Chains A and B, each alone.
Chain A
Amino acid sequence: MTSVTVDKAGPTRARPKYGSMKRDRAWALRWSYFFLAIFAFFFLIPPIYMFITSLKTSAEISAAKNPWWVFNPTLSNYVELLTSPAYIGFFKNSAIVSVSVVIITMLIAIPAAFALSRMRFWGSATLATGVFLTYLIPETLLFLPLFKMFAVFHEYTGIQLLNRWWVLLVVYPTLTVPFCTWIMIGYFASIPKELDEAAIIDGASWLQTLTRVFVPVALPGIIAATIFAFTVSWAQFLYPIAFTTSIDQLVLPVGIITTLIKGDVFNWGQIMTGALLGAAPPLIIYAFLMDYYIAGLTAGATKG
């Protein structure tokens, strides 16, 4: 399993005995940089434009001068948003929801993936494949029935889910768990069986095997799943717009779209600022955990 994290020899470390090959590779490298730069440019246009717009006043935006240049840069959009209790509230809700969803997802997906990759029970093979098929049922179909279910649930138990941010903790896992389980089934399958077999022989229970022996080894796979779950729950749009209404219950994407756009009046400077700031947490997470992510996927994805 260690082999997957070790990077292959880079082209610069090519064996010297093939001289022409070395030259070829140097050229390949140059072309790679060239095309990477083009693609990176294409991928980064919108964020760059968001950044440019976020530095403009609404008067400058309306003036329709060169849209790619900032004539009177201002931080007022940032200041306004970061001092607005509503926006801070969206941020907080998004953070709480995403972190909790990640935890819930892991609590469900890790044991399930372990069971499905290491043990067998009636229907386990079907489940391992079928878990992916839950994505076949679209959110647009589910949100009205779910709304009704939550209303009935409230009637019987007195626990209100509708228009509360915690309703998202209930519905988001349906979007994160299947993919995470699937990634981890793959990753777990790549871990040598001798590891947990030894633990079992030593008298450890299955649960102990999972938590003490297995999880530490499977960490890259788990982190990959974590990052996926976080990205997905941070970006959700339809479920939060359907299930939450009050300003203090909204998460970031919905909050920005419903409060910074007022009827037919778009506050572009602030919208772009809000979107950029909203993209920061997942960006930071990716920046730090990217290597694990790749390593986790490397094993998990191919063994699926």
Chain B
Amino acid sequence: MAKKRITRRQFVAGAMASTAVLGMPYVSSAQSAGKLSVGLWDHWVPGANDASKKVIDAWAAKNKVEVTVDYIPSQGNKNLLTIAAEAQAKAGHDIMAMPTWWPHAQSDLLEPVNDIMAEMIKKLGNVNGTSEYLGKLGDKWLAVPATIGSQLKGPCSRIDLMKQHAGIDIQALYPAGAPPKADSWNFDTFLKAAEACHKGGKPFGIGLGETSDSVDTAGAFMQSFGAALVDAKGNVTVKSDAVRQWLEYSVKLAKFFPADAPAWDDASNNKWLVAGNGALIMNPPSAWAVAKRDAPQIAEQCWTHGFPAGAKGRFAPFLPYFWSIWSFGKNKSAAKQLLVALSEPDAIASFVAASGGYDIPNFDKMTTLPTWANEGPPKGTLYHYPNPHNHQQLSITAAPAPPKIAQQIYVQATPTKMITRHLQGEPMEKTLAWAESEVEGFLR
């Protein structure tokens, strides 16, 4: 994962290929259409960065722009640190990849991208609701929903263990290449399955920690109960019946989680699956991919599928990334062109392929690419991962609260903390009172 800087030599090579500049030596940047520096998310899949590099190189050569690409990892929230620092300094990259809440958090400093978004929507289909909620402020598109890094955290089950302990044939509910027949896959079934697998010594590997995997799962359950801590208008709705029902159910369910679930981070569920400790985890297919490398016999038994349905619908946690342009960027028009190039159907398909199906495009027409149907073993394990049949609603925890408040709820992991508190014996009303005071703090 070396830094991808287009050196002069590479640039000349690229320029040679495009006949326009053939034979013209690249002397200095004065002759080029300027410089552009891009901060992209550092993909964990080996080689996935090369796919974006390739698209950018081709674009750079064609437009004679000198592009510097930095791949910034989300590990240790390095990317958030960089975003915060660049926003403070009003200097840094031109294009910056931002996860989930950050376009809203930095909305004052982002260049609107309505013009290119209109084009993209025309070409690629509508943007899913969650990406719109996170990427749009009023009528203003703050950033372009990015394919790279956007992920869905539905369940990944062990086919064998689910059959053995819970009597559920997950492949029958979610057959490869066909619409799901999962009406029976609801919260009751899920709770019973969790209990059965817990008894069988293979508990569901769902965390109650403060990182996104845990929070996302808790939030999707919450939405399926129609519950929210803060409503779209910004009113605190902690002490509502829906929240109570959600909390009651979650605690029942959490009794069947591993004992140290409150300490889990985003890597814990992966290890849980790969170690063969449990029958189900909530994660994008990175865990399965690691299993494929380190424990192939476990990977062969993995099946990625949809979320169980609750009273108010079927919600699955979606974690989108965005490509945004800093308003203090030096080369905004070039930045927009590059974002268009990164959102061409071919480019998107290449990112999905390079990531082994991990990345999910945020546009409707792009969720049925061949990569997901073909990945395996077992073949078709990722078929239902990108939600090809609109079987579930994509959601993010703390929506529909105004994003700046929702961000606090998400980052402070209020939902999982509520579950943990109640689980550890705190009375429900006390937990709700605590959550209310927390949320009131976020409103300031």
Q: Which of B75-98 contact A (CB under 8 A)?
A: 75-76, 78, 81-82, 84-85, 88-92
Q: Is A61 an interface residue (CB 8 A)?
A: yes
Q: Is B169 an interface residue (CB 8 A)?
A: no
Are A263 and B286 CB-contacts (below 8 A) given A86-B2, A154-B91?
Answer: yes
Q: Is B278 an interface residue (CB 8 A)?
A: no
Q: Is A85 an interface residue (CB 8 A)?
A: yes
Q: Is A213 an interface residue (CB 8 A)?
A: no
A58 to B293, Cβ gap below 8 A?
A: yes
A151 to B294, Cβ gap below 8 A?
A: no
Q: Which of A120-155 contact B (CB under 8 A)?
A: 143-144, 147-148, 150-152, 154-155
Q: Is B267 an interface residue (CB 8 A)?
A: yes
Residue ID in chain A nearest B289 by CB atoms: A265
Q: Is A59 an interface residue (CB 8 A)?
A: yes
A144 to B75, Cβ gap below 8 A?
A: no
A247 to B3, Cβ gap below 8 A?
A: yes
Which chain A residues lie closer than 8 Å to B295 at the CB level?
Answer: 59, 62-63
Interface string of B265-286 (1 = CB under 8 A from A): 1110111001110000001001
Are A248 and B3 CB-contacts (below 8 A) given A62-B275, A62-B294, A242-B85?
Answer: yes
Q: Is B380 an interface residue (CB 8 A)?
A: no
B274 to A263, Cβ gap below 8 A?
A: no
Are A246 and B267 CB-contacts (below 8 A) given A162-B92, A264-B286?
Answer: no
Which chain A residues lie closer than 8 Å to B274 at the CB level?
Answer: 62
In the assembled complex, the Cα of A257 lies from the Cα of B45 at a distance in Å of 16
Are A263 and B3 CB-contacts (below 8 A) given A61-B294, A144-B88, A242-B85?
Answer: no
In the assembled complex, the Cα of A155 lies from the Cα of B289 at a distance in Å of 45
Which chain A residues lie closer than 8 Å to B290 at the CB level?
Answer: 62, 265
Q: Which of A246-265 contact B (CB under 8 A)?
A: 246-249, 254, 257-259, 261-265
Which chain A residues lie closer than 8 Å to B275 at the CB level?
Answer: 62, 64
Q: Indicate which residue in B3, B76, B267, B283 contacts A258 across the interface (CB closer than 8 Å).
A: B76
B267 to A265, Cβ gap below 8 A?
A: yes
Give, as a whole number of angstroms, the nearest-CB distance from B103 to chain A. Answer: 19
Interface string of A60-89 (1 = CB under 8 A from B): 011110000000000000000000011001
Which of B66-74, B128-136, B159-167, B421-429 faces chain A?
B66-74
Which chain A residues lie closer than 8 Å to B71 at the CB level?
Answer: 247
Which chain B residues lie closer than 8 Å to A241 at the CB level?
Answer: 76, 78, 81
Residue ID in chain B nearest A89 by CB atoms: B2
Q: Which of A217-261 contact B (CB under 8 A)?
A: 241-243, 245-249, 254, 257-259, 261
B70 to A263, Cβ gap below 8 A?
A: no
Q: Which of B14-47 contact A (CB under 8 A)?
A: 39, 42-45
B267 to A148, Cβ gap below 8 A?
A: no
In the assembled complex, the Cα of A86 lies from the Cα of B275 at a distance in Å of 30
B267 to A266, Cβ gap below 8 A?
A: yes
Q: Is B213 an interface residue (CB 8 A)?
A: yes
In the assembled complex, the Cα of A280 lies from the Cα of B150 at a distance in Å of 39
B75 to A257, Cβ gap below 8 A?
A: yes
A148-B88, A263-B44, A264-B287 are known; give 20 further A-B pairs, CB within 8 A: A62-B275, A89-B2, A144-B88, A152-B89, A241-B76, A246-B5, A247-B3, A247-B71, A249-B3, A254-B78, A257-B75, A258-B42, A259-B73, A262-B73, A263-B73, A263-B74, A263-B266, A264-B266, A264-B270, A266-B271
Chain A residues within 8 Å of B, Cβ to Cβ: 58-59, 61-64, 85-86, 89, 143-144, 147-148, 150-152, 154-155, 162-163, 241-243, 245-249, 254, 257-259, 261-266
Pairs A-B, 4 closest by C-beta atoms: A262-B44, A151-B89, A264-B266, A62-B294
